Structure 1
Amino acid sequence: MREWCRTAFVIGVAVLVPVLSTAGQQDADRTVAGGGITAPGWQGAVDSQAASQGKSVKDSKFEQKGDTFHLTIGPAAVYWNPKNTASGDYTVKATFTEAKMTSGHPHPMGLFIGGSRMGTPEQSLIYCTAYRDGSYIVRRFNGSNVTQVARKTPNPAVKKAASADESVTQEVAWIVKPDKAECQINGTTVASFDKAELVGPGKLESTDGVYGIRVSHNMDVTVSNLKLTK
C-alpha cells in the first residue's frame, strides 16, 4: 500500500487520505473516566503509538476485585506485576472474558511472556491473544517495533461469540519448554515456535522474564485464574 502511494501519489492522495482519516475516527481510543491502575503492585504501559498521542494507562481502568482483574480499556496496553516472572520450563495461563464487543470490530486479549525493560522505551515481550471471532494472533514488541510472529488466523479452538452483545471466554496459555514455546487457547496448541525463532538479536532476550496481560483498545475484559506452574 505504501509503495503504491509513492508511485501514484498525485492520483491517489485525494482519495486515500479521507479514507484513512475516516477509519481512524471510527475506532479511536476512548478515554475512560476515573481511569488508572488500582490493583496493588501492578503497572502498565500503552502502545507506543498511543503514547505518542499523549495517551497513558490513566485513560483506562485496571482494578482488582478478589482474584479477578477488571479492565475497562481505552488505549491498547500491557499490564504486569514486576513480581510475576517466569524462567526455564513453565506454563502461564489465565482466563479472559469479554462482556461484549464495544467497537465496530473484534479486538484481541491474552498473555505476554519474556518481558524485559518493562515500562521503558526499550520494552520487549511477545504476546498471544484471542479474538471473539475465533481467531488468534502472535506479536512481538521490541521498543516501538512490532513484529507479527503469527498473523491473525482462524482456529477451531478459539471460541466465537454468538453476537456482538454476547460474552465470550477464552483460556490463554504459554507453555515454554527447553527448545520450544507454544501458545495454547482453550487447551489446544494454536502456535508453536522453536526458541531460535523467538530469541536472539532483534528478538527477545530470552523467554525468561516478566509475564502479564495484553489487551487491545476499547475493550471491557475480566481476567481470572492468572497463574504460573513449573
Structure 2
Amino acid sequence: MRHLAAAASLLVLLAPALAAQDLERPDGWQVRFDNPGASEADLEMFVDMPPGWHVTTGPAGIFWSPDNTASGDFRAEMEVFLFDPQGRREAFGMFVGGKELAGGSQEYTYFLLRDGGQYIIKRREGSEAPTVRP
C-alpha cells in the first residue's frame, strides 16, 4: 500500500510537467519586449494552458493577439495564478488601448500588480512611460 501511495504521489507531481510538454505557443500572438535589445530567445515560456496561458518571461514585455480587440464601452478582467516569485519583485498585469504595438510609436495604458498588493498604472507613449497613478 505504501508503494501505491508513493507512486500515486509521484504521478500527481509529474502530471503538470508531462502536460506542459504538449503545450504550444498561442497562434497569432505577438510579443514586444520593453528592452529593444531583448529577443525571443530570452522568453522562457509563453504557451496555451487552458483556460488561458502560461507566461514565464526573462525581460519585461507585452503579449497580444491582433484578433482580440474591443471598441466602444467594454470591460476587461483577468484572473492570475502567481507562482512563488522567491523574493523577486516580479510584476504582472494587463494593458488596454493599444495602438502601433509593433512600431516605434507604440501607445497603450497598462496596469501592473506585484504579489504584495502594490500597483501602478502607466501609459506607454513610444519609448516614454509616464505614470498615471502611482
Asked if TM exceeds 0.5, the reply is yes
Helix, strand or coil: the match of 2:41? Answer: helix
Percent identity over the alignment is 32
Helix, strand or coil: the match of 2:78? Answer: strand
For 2:128 and 2:83, the matched residues in 1 are separated by 31
Unpaired runs of at least 5, structure 2 = 1-23
1:96 paired with 2:96, answer no
Give yes or no for contact 1:57–1:77 (8 Å, CA) kept in 2: no
- The residue type paired with residue 111 of structure 1 is M
For 1:88 and 1:58, the matched residues in 2 are separated by 37
- The residue type paired with residue 45 of structure 1 is R
For 1:58 and 1:90, the matched residues in 2 are separated by 35
Aligned residue number for residue 221 of structure 1: none
For 1:56 and 1:110, the matched residues in 2 are separated by 21
TM-score calculated relative to the size of structure 2: 0.76
Aligned residue number for residue 131 of structure 1: 114
For 2:50 and 2:70, the matched residues in 1 are separated by 23
For 2:100 and 2:41, the matched residues in 1 are separated by 21
Give yes or no for contact 1:113–1:126 (8 Å, CA) kept in 2: yes
Helix, strand or coil: the match of 2:68? Answer: strand
Q: Which of 58, 61, 66 lines up with 2:41 in the alignment?
A: 58
1:57, distance to aligned residue in structure 2 (A):
3.4
- The residue type paired with residue 66 of structure 2 is P
1:39 paired with 2:26, answer yes
Aligned residue number for residue 119 of structure 1: 102
Between 1 and 2, higher relative CO (CA 8 Å, sep ≥ 6) is seen in 1
Give yes or no for contact 1:116–1:124 (8 Å, CA) kept in 2: yes
Equivalent positions of 1:1-230 (< 5 A) are: 38-47=25-34, 50-51=35-36, 54-60=37-43, 61-102=45-86, 104-151=87-134
Note the alpha carbon deviations across 1:178-215, whole angstroms, 9 max, x for none: xxxxxxxxxxxxxxxxxxxxxxxxxxxxxxxxxxxxxx
For 1:44 and 1:134, the matched residues in 2 are separated by 26
Give the 4+ runs in structure 1 shifted more than 3 A: none
1:38, distance to aligned residue in structure 2 (A):
1.7
Aligned residue number for residue 201 of structure 1: none
For 1:150 and 1:105, the matched residues in 2 are separated by 23
1:121, distance to aligned residue in structure 2 (A):
1.1
How many residues of Structure 1 are paired with residues of Structure 2 in the alignment?
Answer: 110
1:136, distance to aligned residue in structure 2 (A):
0.9
Unpaired runs of at least 5, structure 1 = 1-36, 152-230
Helix, strand or coil: the match of 1:98? Answer: coil
- The residue type paired with residue 29 of structure 2 is W
Taking only aligned residues, the RMSD between alpha carbons, in angstroms, comes to 1.5
For 1:121 and 1:135, the matched residues in 2 are separated by 29
Helix, strand or coil: the match of 1:58? Answer: helix
